[in-house]
Amino acid sequence: MYRMIRRRKRSAETDYKSRIALLKGGMPRIVVRRSNRSITMQVVEYTPDSDKVIAMAHSSELRKMGWEPRCNIPTAYLTGALLAKRWNGESVLDIGLYKPVKGSVVFAAAKGAIDAGMKLKANVEFDESRMRGAHIESYAKAGAQFNGYSKAGFNPSSIQEKFEAAKKKIMSGA
């Protein structure tokens, strides 16, 4: 056990100082993790044996709502809203080793959870137009190439409309 802790600390996989600070509060944590292609959010509760996942949302689930998931701000917001519809309790935000940058994907996910009704102990301010994908839409209208979207039959020049439609489906519980 001690060897594993030293290895995770040495390889910068876990910041134990911030983890212990979060665990002292006794509340479940909203863990936000992103990769190059997806976003995963989990509600995690600490137990002495191991952490227990209470609820989970993954950005790939947004395909059912007509949204083509990528690792971007609108997808993070919708994933956060999806998690909040599955679990609605008080919790604290755990961003792990990500740097707390205003307007980042991690905070967009937290904003989505808060807007969907989750009681999250985090101070999150976010630009509403970026959250809906206005910046992506303006790039697409300026002639930027979005190969991944076009391969999936998703037109990024109308991303705000698709965002509102997906958000409406999530909020209604469909």
pLDDT digits (tens, 9 = 90+) for 47-96: 888 778 999 999 999 999 888 888 889 999 999 999 999 998 888 888 77
Instruction: List pLDDT tens digits, range 9-45.
Output: 555 555 655 666 566 567 888 989 888 889 999 998 8
In the prediction, which pLDDT does 18 show?
A: 63
| CATH code of the domain occupying 2-127 | 3.30.420.100
d(CA 163, CA 90): 26
In terms of Cβ atoms closer than 10 Å to its own Cβ (0-12, 13-18, 19+), residue 38 is middle
In terms of Cβ atoms closer than 10 Å to its own Cβ (0-12, 13-18, 19+), residue 79 is buried
What is the residue extent of each domain of the chain? 2-127
